[in-house]
Amino acid sequence: MVLGIGGLFLPIQVLLRCSKSCRLRWTNYLRPGIKRGNFTEHEEKMIIHLQALLGNRWAAIASYLPQRTDNDIKNYWNTHLKKKLKKFETGLDGNAKDGFSDSQSMTKGQWERRLQTDIHMARKALCEALSLEKPSSLCDLKASSGFYSMMRPNQATTYASSTENISRLLQGWMKNSPKSGRSTSETTQNSVNNMTGTDSTYSEGTPSASNNTDIVSPEALESLLGLDSSTPGVSQSASLDETTNIKQETNTFQDECKPKMETQVPLSVLEKWLFDEGVAQAEEDLIGMSIYGTAEMF
């Protein structure tokens, strides 16, 4: 049903929308330059990274993906990525065969390995950022339950409160990633500027942060992040050179974060499985990633 007004034919719904709805529809749907559907792998990786770093702060995440709306990213997270992480988590619970048995476009576990590498890179950037920053923050963080707690938005607030940290952290990761439409520093600063306004109180814990329900279980994410000192899954995923670096960085980080951590987390099912799969495939994937990384630019 349409109504004609002064030569303009408008859907009846338009007339019933409040200004707020109109704005929303414009920003989420009508605004020119919006890219819709079919998230690229790099976008997916960025979302995963940023979600891990920022929590469910979709507007902030969207600022790094100029062509995507926060709503779009939020939907994509809720419908696709959360599911993938869940699946991954299920796999860690000893039902790996169920988790990975599905025939998907990617080969068995490929996505997970990539995700693992992605998160590792994010962690690497985090290490760099933190090692540059006051070490005392690490002590605060280690007081809580390990690295995962740091990544949990409600507890990560201690860390996330420092916009400098976020900026540095993201720069650390993004310099390893295909450049986006905007330059890294530009987008980072932009986002940081966006965040400083409302997030100055973030360290105190915002409701949205504390209400975050998209949290993968500590075990799953710690394993994903390769927290445990024996991280074959991660090191197997990296090329030799990078493996060395990562190992060093990992050790550094663990030394800083969990110096007294003596209890070795046993190999997760996934890690065992990754171990079995061999280095070759992992390296192949990683090479593929770097190729992808340079090829698929915005």
Interacting residues with DNA (CB under 7 A)? 13, 16-17, 19-21, 23-25, 27-29, 36-37, 56-60, 70-72, 74-76, 78-80, 83, 194, 197-198, 201, 207-208, 211-214
Least spacing, CB of residue 115 vs DNA, in Å: 17
Between residues 163 and 250, which has the closer beta carbon with respect to DNA?
Answer: 163
Least spacing, CB of residue 73 vs DNA, in Å: 9
Least spacing, CB of residue 215 vs DNA, in Å: 10
Question: Phi first, then psi: what are they for 8, rounded to 5°?
Answer: -95, 130
* Cβ proximity of 286 and 242 under 8 Å: yes
Calculate ∠ Cα 76-79-85, nearest 5°: 95
Between residues 27 and 281, which has the closer beta carbon with respect to DNA?
Answer: 27
β-pair type (2-5, 8-11): antiparallel
Least spacing, CB of residue 234 vs DNA, in Å: 28
Question: Phi first, then psi: what are they for 5, rounded to 5°?
Answer: -130, 110
Between residues 81 and 282, which has the closer beta carbon with respect to DNA?
Answer: 81
Least spacing, CB of residue 7 vs DNA, in Å: 23
- Cα–chain center distance at 229: 22
Between residues 29 and 288, which has the closer beta carbon with respect to DNA?
Answer: 29
Least spacing, CB of residue 272 vs DNA, in Å: 27
Between residues 144 and 208, which has the closer beta carbon with respect to DNA?
Answer: 208
Give the separation between CA 170 and CA 159, rounded to whole angstroms.
Answer: 13
Least spacing, CB of residue 170 vs DNA, in Å: 15
Least spacing, CB of residue 264 vs DNA, in Å: 34
Q: What is the dihedral of CA 111, 232, 128, 239, to 10 degrees?
A: -70
Between residues 70 and 256, which has the closer beta carbon with respect to DNA?
Answer: 70
Give the separation between CA 134 and CA 82, rounded to whole angstroms.
Answer: 33
Between residues 76 and 273, which has the closer beta carbon with respect to DNA?
Answer: 76
* Residue 206 DSSP label: -
Query: Bridge partners of 179?
Result: none
Between residues 78 and 107, which has the closer beta carbon with respect to DNA?
Answer: 78
Helix residue ranges per DSSP H, the chain: 12-16, 19-25, 41-54, 58-62, 70-76, 82-90, 96-100, 110-132, 136-143, 146-151, 153-160, 163-174, 184-199, 207-210, 218-224, 232-237, 240-257, 269-277, 279-295
